[in-house]
Structure 1
């Protein structure tokens, strides 16, 4: 996939995250850094749901990708970088934001928060990613 096409896809996915948050969780995501606290709140709800009634693999994949796209778009707009597809492992390709020689797989962090560790904070992760990108 060409970079402009990938960028458009991820921007559309970020919009899907806003719609999902509003319609399914009554959470307004406005695209600024402060809204990452709301992303953490939404992902915490999904983590609790996952414990009692696990999401299907397809739903989990979709949720992680749209929320990761939303977080990635905030990172790109505040720090810089571009979307890239990582296909090193053909059985598990993923999207990440590349900045210099660094890569930030926001959807993967969403997945780990939902499925494994609710203490993960996307807001903290993005703050650390910003610091790492500037080094």
Structure 2
């Protein structure tokens, strides 16, 4: 996949996260770093629902990826970086933000918050990523 195609795909996925947040949770996301606290709220609610009745693998994949895209776009806007695609393992490719020599797999963080550990904060993760990226 070409970098321009990947960037367009991720920008569209980020827009899907904004639409989903507004329609399903009545939360307005504005591409700011502060809005990631709202993403934490949405993912925490979805995590609680997951405990009651498991979401399908497709729903988990979609939610993780659209919010990973949203977080990534906010990160690019506020810090820098670009989208990259790791296809080293053809069974488990993943998309991440590349900034200098650092990689930030935001969709993976969302997935772990949804499925394993609700105490994970994507806002805190991004704040730490910003600190690491600027070192």
Whether TM exceeds 0.5 here: the answer is yes
Q: Partner of 2:40 in structure 1?
A: 40
Instruction: Quote how far apart the aligned CAs of 1:86 are.
Output: 0.8
Q: Partner of 2:80 in structure 1?
A: 80
Paired residue secondary structure (2:35): helix
Unaligned 5+ runs, structure 1: none
Partners of 1:26 and 1:81 lie apart in 2 by: 30
Alignment of 1:94 with 2:102, yes or no, is no
Instruction: Quote how far apart the aligned CAs of 1:55 are.
Output: 0.7
Instruction: Quote how far apart the aligned CAs of 1:134 are.
Output: 1.1
Unaligned 5+ runs, structure 2: none
Partners of 2:54 and 2:21 lie apart in 1 by: 19
Partners of 1:127 and 1:17 lie apart in 2 by: 20
- TM-score, with normalisation over the residues of structure 2? 0.98
- TM-score, with normalisation over the residues of structure 1? 0.98
Partners of 2:33 and 2:102 lie apart in 1 by: 20
Instruction: Quote how far apart the aligned CAs of 1:119 are.
Output: 0.4
Partners of 1:131 and 1:92 lie apart in 2 by: 28
Moved over 3 A (4+): none
